[in-house]
Amino acid sequence: MGRWWATPVVGAAGAWLASVFHWPLPWIIGSMLAVILVRCLGGPLGEIPYGRLSGQWMIATSIGLHFTPAVLEQILGHFVMMASAAVPTMLLALLGIAFMQRRGMDLTTAFFAFMPANFSEMIQAGIRHKANVSQIAAAHSMRLVLIVLCVPPAMFFTAQVSPSVVPARLPSDWHWLLPLLAGGALTAVIWKRCRLPNPWMFGPMACCAVVTAACNVQTALPVELSHYGQLMIGCALGGYFDRQFFRSSPAFLLKVSVFTVIMIMSTVGLAALIGLWLHVPLMTLALGMMPGSSTEMYLTAEALNLAVGVVTAMQIMRLVVVMLCAEPIHGAWLKYLRNRRM
């Protein structure tokens, strides 16, 4: 714990360097890459106490402030489409899991390692079902980092938008922000006590979304707090990696990387088909269906002036569908395999 103070310093230096080179989302990508590099070189960088949680709190508040009545109406109008789009992403993951299982990987480990859901919930499910938890953690870490490294730059390049162009933001009204930040923290604590998933992300987001929609709040989080949140999340992602991580099982990590890249490409292809059918913008659909973290997809959508509310709602819908269906599907799959052997 005594080494944690150097982590935000290294992360901030990486973010500054990424900003100089106009890299997309520099505060999250630059900080993450800087922390990974220093840790792989042997630098003693520790986890920032409550860093990831406070970063999620800031970003979740920013996301919730986008859910104005107009955005909520747009989400309700696309509800069936969003629910339907969550299913193909899960089916793609199941095809990949079946391939890994046929290649000799334990089904339970492959299932919870490659299912596109929250990191912590899949690890807990893996523990309950006696899977290889280290491989599950490694797979989800690689998936998140690869999506952060690949998707935002590809989106900016496709949209031909310079990352140095700052999108217009609403002014920050502290008469609303202070109670919303406090209310979000309180909601996160209650969310955690109720054992609901990802409390410091979904709790503040839900609190701010309800108040914003009910009162038509027109404000935004200051850019400095947004950068702080991105810095904390980037440092937390980078903290999963060091030399030992990459040496542990290079063949498995290569499989995870190939699987993730195929998932990204397949998701974009599915989004293009659905977009042509329903006349919905490709980039909005692709970000909404992407099997990554809602945080990075939201930040990318915000920077590209896309439908942030729709992207976030689609990400939440995917997580809900996966978390509700994952363990029942896993149980049915195991039962099917046992019946085949009899």
Q: Delineate the domains of the chain, giving CATH numbers in brackets.
A: 6-160+171-341 (1.20.1530)
Share above pLDDT 90 across residues of the chain, in percent, rounded to a whole number? 34
For 182, residues 6+ apart whose C-beta sits below 8 A from its C-beta are none
pLDDT at 108 over 70: yes
Taking CA 236 as the corner, what is the angle to CA 227 and CA 308, rounded to the nearest 5 degrees?
50
Q: Amino acid identity, residue 63?
A: I
**Rounded distance between C-alpha atoms, residue 87 and residue 329, angstroms:** 13
As given in the structure block, the two tokens for residue 223 are: 């850019």
pLDDT digits (tens, 9 = 90+) for 119-138: 777 888 888 888 888 888 88
pLDDT digits (tens, 9 = 90+) for 56-82: 999 999 999 989 898 888 888 878 878
Cβ proximity of 151 and 326 under 8 Å: no
**Rounded distance between C-alpha atoms, residue 126 and residue 301, angstroms:** 32
Cβ proximity of 92 and 267 under 8 Å: yes
* Predicted TM-score of the model (pTM): 0.86
Cβ proximity of 292 and 273 under 8 Å: no
Note the pLDDT of residue 167: 67
